[in-house]
């Protein structure tokens, strides 16, 4: 217990000191890492623990982003409050999608296609709604006011993104230690067996979907007030849904540290490929990034965290 407390204090001290010791480029890299780690952790509730793979989380992300911006622009509601309205709307949408999918027994690729179709419908709606900016998108005026989720410099965004990651990780930790988490893992491993043992699989999958969607929507608000621009083809693209999912898959879905390690690894790989290959042929750095990602998936098929944990256990077992 004392060792864990000491490790936690050391890591916490390092994270507090880090943004003041690195350049603006690395600050942005760390913000992006924490931010996508948060989104990966949100996806992890549904995809990692409940085993329901989704490629439509961009819909919940966009709902969170657009809701907070529209409420702030038209009625002056602070994004700190508007983001919870967006989270509620995203949770409601997840229940509609989940009812169609879970009530009719859609699994695997069929459920993936349902979530993908839902996100695409949301994208088409956003493209034709004037209040959301249509094809042009929404521009957010920069007025450095912390109450309006706008800050001077990157350091405040660093701590906000870190706080978001801690929030999502805490939620996942609480789920993992609860009866709810046990039921989700049972559903992931064998849904029919879990149902035969009396687990209300429909109810718990719906709850997992609501939690996952609400957390993802909170991340949409952060994106809106970090980038100051929303465009449907960006915030509702399948690429974004894949970016959210892949953090958890590469790091190790169904674990707390998996999405965090996956986000660090992918951001470092992306920065490495951009730094050393961006000056080459057009698109070369993207090809290198894809190749590096393939290598990671081939050699770490279970994810970074489970593989490293397995190596550590084998090493300590040999020593014992």
Q: What is the pLDDT of residue 15?
A: 86
Strands (E), the chain: 138-139, 229-230
> Which pLDDT belongs to residue 319?
57
Identify the bridge partners of residue 138 per DSSP, sorted by sequence position: 230
**What are the residues whose beta carbons fall under 8 Å from the beta carbon of 140, sequence distance 6 or more?**
69, 224, 225, 228, 229, 230
What's the pLDDT score for residue 116? 93
Least confident span in 169-178, 201-210, 271-280: 271-280
Q: What is the pLDDT of residues 46-77, one digit of tens each?
A: 999 999 999 999 999 999 999 999 999 999 99
Place of tokens 């999912």: 245
Query: Token digits for 91?
Result: 């949770």
pTM of the shown model:
0.91
3-state secondary structure of 197: coil
Residue 282: is its pLDDT beyond 60?
Answer: no
Which residue ranges make up each domain of the chain?
26-236
With a cut of 90, say whether residue 269 has pLDDT above it: no
Instruction: Give the pLDDT mean for 134-149.
Output: 89
pLDDT at 266 over 90: no
* pLDDT reported for residue 279: 55
What confidence score (pLDDT) does residue 302 get? Answer: 78
The DSSP secondary structure of 13-64, one letter per residue, reads HHHHHHHHHS-HHHHHHHHHHHHHHHHHHHHIIIIIIS----S-HHHHHHHH
User: What is the phi/psi pair of residue 139, to 5°?
Assistant: -100, 135
Q: Residues 87, 147: contact at Cβ < 8 Å?
A: no
Mean pLDDT of 80-95: 96
Average pLDDT, the chain: 88
Write the CA distances from 161 to 80, 114, 155, 170, 218, integer angstroms.
14, 30, 10, 14, 11
Strands 138-139 and 229-230: antiparallel
Distance, in Å, from the CA atom of 254 to the CA atom of 168, rounded to the nearest integer, reads 14
Element (H, E) at 1: none
């Amino acid at each position: 217990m004392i060792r864990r407390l000491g490790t936690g204090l050391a890591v916490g001290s390092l994270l507090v000191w880090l943004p003041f010791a690195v350049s603006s480029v690395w600050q942005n890299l760390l913000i992006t890492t924490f931010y996508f780690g948060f989104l990966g952790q949100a996806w992890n509730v549904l995809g990692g623990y409940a085993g329901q793979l989704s490629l439509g989380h961009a819909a919940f992300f966009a709902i969170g982003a657009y809701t907070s911006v529209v409420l702030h622009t038209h009625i002056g509601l602070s994004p700190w409050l508007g983001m919870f309205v967006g989270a509620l709307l995203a949770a409601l949408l997840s229940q509609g999608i989940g009812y169609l999918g879970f009530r009719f027994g859609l699994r695997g690729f069929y459920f993936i296609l349902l979530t993908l179709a839902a996100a695409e419908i949301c994208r088409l709606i956003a493209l034709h709604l004037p209040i959301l900016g249509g094809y042009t998108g929404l521009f957010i005026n920069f007025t450095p006011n912390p109450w309006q989720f706008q800050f001077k410099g990157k350091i405040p965004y660093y701590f906000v993104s870190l706080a978001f990651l801690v929030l999502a990780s805490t939620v996942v930790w609480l789920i993992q230690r609860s009866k709810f988490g046990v039921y989700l893992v049972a559903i992931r491993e064998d849904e029919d067996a879990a149902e035969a043992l009396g687990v209300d699989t429909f109810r718990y999958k719906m709850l997992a979907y609501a939690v996952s969607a609400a957390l993802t929507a909170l991340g949409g608000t952060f994106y809106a007030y970090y980038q100051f621009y929303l465009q449907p083809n960006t915030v509702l693209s399948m690429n974004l849904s894949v970016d959210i999912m892949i953090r958890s898959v590469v790091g190790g879905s169904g674990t707390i540290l998996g999405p965090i390690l996956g986000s660090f690894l992918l951001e470092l790989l992306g920065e490495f490929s951009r730094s050393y290959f961006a000056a080459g042929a057009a698109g070369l750095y993207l090809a290198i990034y894809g190749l590096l990602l393939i290598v990671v998936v081939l050699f770490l098929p279970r994810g970074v965290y489970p593989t490293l944990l397995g190596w550590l256990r084998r090493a300590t077992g040999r020593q014992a």
